[in-house]
Structure 1
Amino acid sequence: MSYQEEEQAGLRRRRSKQAIALAMQGRWREAVVANQSLIESFPNDVNAYNRLGRAHMELGEYSQAKEAYSRAIELAPYNMIAKKNLERLSRLGEAMVGLQADSQQVEPQQFVEETGKAGVVNLYRLGTREILAKMVAGDRVYLKIDG
């Protein structure tokens, strides 16, 4: 790898980390700008398109999210992240009108699993497909026990 290629790879890594950090802080508008800037420099960056789609979804900008995920699939036809989110957007359909985007900051520590301190359970009767389509990783849910 040449010096120039190494510099480009380093720049791409740094800018990707910045975009991820903005998203983790719930700074979605800034995350959109960061990912768009990254795409201008690296137009085939599939991960940047996935992040851009997520940021647009969080802002309630569903048509832009659809465009970003569609571009990710053009670049990588087997991209499961983009496919899953496009499917989610199509399931939402008209329910997207008036849907409020919730951009609360999510603490990454909530997702860390520690051996002996965390468990995995199966949940049943979660809700309708329409309700589930509106949910994303990081949404807060509350466990309600009936009976």
Structure 2
Amino acid sequence: MNESHLKNLLNQIKKNTKDALKASQMGLWEEAEQINRMMIQEVECDYKAYGRLADALMKLGKTSEAADYYDIVTDLDKAKKDMTKKSIKLATESNWDAAAAINQEIIKDFPWDLEAYNRLGKAYMEIGDKNKATNAFKCALVVSENSVIAKKNLARLDKTNNDPNKRSTNSNASNKNYIEESAKTAITKLLNVPRQLDTSNLLSGDTVQLVLSSKGIKVMDQNNQILGSLEPKVGSRLRRLIEGGNKYEANITSIAENEVSIIINEVFRSVSQVNTPSFIKKSESISLIPNATIGYTLNDETKFADMKDWTDDDTETGDETIFTADIPSFISVQGEGYSEDDF
């Protein structure tokens, strides 16, 4: 669905919703029934229209039919939550093609779902399809013009398109799952992040360099831009292990203003250090990842295996439920009412 089509669809839903609510508020239950039936024909999974239809049928004394429609509301709620959970699971497994497909299903059934558009955009970014990613994020802005997540990712896509030195995809990132043993993988937040660091060029899963220094380890991106340094105790330990023959890979997991977190994975352990673990959980600065299958995503420094989203942005006001199962509130016309702002 493109942004123009979506805008027209949502505007029509808003108009019909106003008409349905007005009919209900005036006690015109037969008219309300008719409008909501029409809305269901246009958008088959519009659970709020089903809920209003059930309310109208109750007022008209058609209790048995109303009960059936209330059941449909419950079934649609469950189906949406199940699809959302599945899309998140696929993304945590870095199965981006399948994640994109299921988010497309969600959008087809629930075209006002802001979270699904942002998840879809991220999936297409990982696949390397910038045009589809851009369309998804533009659609997110149609649903919520204040979506910080969509705005930031569109800016990133635009900058990537205009920067000849920026790769078109995460081709150098180890965009795969790690199946790790305890103390071989950890996540840590970098220290001494430059205040003027341009994070718009950084993406989830980007490979970073661990550069030995006299005081520990500095972290640099692929363009040799300094991102920060490891916490002294962690850096000093890894420096000794690297000098002893160990090898490590590191990738970005989380990006925010003046904050960068990375995942460090031991990929080779020297025979001379076979009994020496790379990471020891003695500091709050690192989180060990024991026996976990990990996919690259963002915004989860302490519970990386339970990642809730795959953008590098914090959720914004109005987007508090981004990337989580949407549990809609079905409000009777006798209750607090229905808000068109839900779209």
Alignment TM-score, normalising by the size of structure 2: 0.35
1:91 aligns with 2:159: yes
Which residue number corresponds to residue 112 of structure 1?
Answer: none
SS of the aligned residue for 1:142 comes to: strand
d(CA) in 2 for partners of 1:56, 1:50: 10
Q: What does residue 140 of structure 2 align with?
A: 72
Match for residue 115 of structure 2? 47
Instruction: Work out whether 1:142 is the aligned partner of 2:209.
Output: yes
Corresponding position: 1:7 with 2:75: yes
Aligned to 2:193: 124
How do residues 14-25 of structure 1 correspond to structure 2 at under 5 angstroms? Answer: 14-25=82-93
What CA deviation, in whole Å up to 9, does each residue of 1:33-62 have, x standing for no partner? 111111111111111100100000001101
Unaligned runs of 5+ in 1: 110-116
CA 1:119/1:51 → structure 2, altered by over 3 Å: closer, same or farther?
closer
Alpha-carbon shift at residue 84 of structure 1 (Å): 1.2
Distance of aligned partners of 1:11 and 1:28 in 2 relative to their CA distance in 1, 3 Å threshold: same
Q: Distance in 1 between matches of 2:192 and 2:128?
A: 28
Question: CA separation in 2, counterparts of 1:35 and 1:139?
Answer: 24
**Residue number in structure 1 paired with 2:269:** none
Which AA in structure 1 matches 2:100?
V
2-structure distance, mates of 1:13, 1:145: 46
1:57: which partner in 2?
A: 125
Q: Which residue of 2 aligns with 1:114?
A: none
Name the CA shift for 1:65/1:123 in 2 (closer, same or farther; >3 Å).
farther
1:32 to 84, 97, 100: 100
Question: Secondary structure at the residue paired with 1:69?
Answer: helix
Cα RMSD, aligned residues only: 3.0
Q: Across the two proteins, how many residue pairs are aligned to each other?
A: 137
Q: Secondary structure at the match of 2:210?
A: coil
**1:5 Cα shift?**
1.3
Q: Name the structure where helix makes up a greater proportion of residues.
A: 1
Residues 54-113 of structure 1 deviation map (CA, whole Å, 9 limit, x = unaligned) = 000001101110110010011011111111111111221233785233471356x9xxxx
Change (3 A) 1:118 1:19: closer
Q: Rate the CA distance shift 1:65–1:125 in 2: closer, same or farther, 3 A.
A: same
Listed as ranges, the gaps of 5+ residues in structure 2 are 1-50, 52-69, 181-185, 215-343
Are the counterparts in 1 of residues 170 and 205 from structure 2 also a CA contact under 8 Å? Answer: no
Higher strand share: 2
Pick from 176, 183, 205: which aligns with 1:105? Answer: 176
Shift of 1:133: 3.4
In the alignment, the residues of structure 2 paired with residue 61 and residue 134 of structure 1 have an alpha-carbon distance, to the nearest angstrom, of 17
1:31 and 1:52 in contact (8 A); partners too: yes
- Deviation of 1:143 (Å): 3.3
- Moved segments of 4+, more than 6 Å: none
User: Larger radius of gyration, structure 1 or 2?
Assistant: 2
